[in-house]
Amino acid sequence: YRGRARSVRMTPVDIAGFFHVDLSDTTSADNEGTLIVDADGRRWRRVTDGQYLPSWWQIKGDGVPDDTAKLEKMLDALPAGATVNLGTGKSYLLKKTIVFTKPINLRGGSKENTFLLFAPDGVYLANPFKYGIIFPHVTTNVPGYPGDARRSSMSGFSLRMFGTGPTGVKAMLAAAPIYGSEVDALGWPSDAFCVRASGDGVNGNANGSYFQKFTAYQN
């Protein structure tokens, strides 16, 4: 390769796609999706257009296995401002609170056929952060999750509690300005969409948030 990056086609199914080898990098860790370290220690970087697929992290989205760990690994690997294409006809089973620590754009097919399914036996954060998903402001201070999700966006999926969930768990907390359209919340034991600038133990600033065609029912 003579010190240059070279585009190649990777053939194994689990890392299918276009990659280039970065010979200047000898330290970055394998993230199993966009950066692969081969047996010789070379770093292969996935060629992307700013859109990322859960399947790159071997997340099937068929509603059967617990996708939590792999989805968190994917979110950790994404750059701020990345767009995640959740796909059409996909159901992602999650068993804990998902905290977005950077701005991310979530795109599903539609709220009728793309689901984030939260398990009733999941381990959710304690109050005041007992939610399915959280978009924190830099001042929110979610325990164990420092970060800033300002300017995240979402569209085309449903947040569903898959069964009788723990008492008091809510669907979504926006403590930072986020934008969204065509999102449902269904079956939660408590509230659906919560926007909090301050109060009830939550700090933040959600000025400028925008929600269109959000639907909350059977919560």
Of residues 157, 155, 169, 178, the one with CA closest to residue 219: 169
**What pLDDT does 50 receive?**
86
Q: What pTM was computed for the model? A: 0.90
* DSSP element (H, E) containing 72: helix 68-77
204 pairs with which residues across the strands?
A: none
SS3 of 110, please?
coil
Mean pLDDT by 10 residues, the chain (219 residues): 45 65 95 94 93 94 94 96 97 98 97 96 96 97 95 98 90 97 97 91 95 95
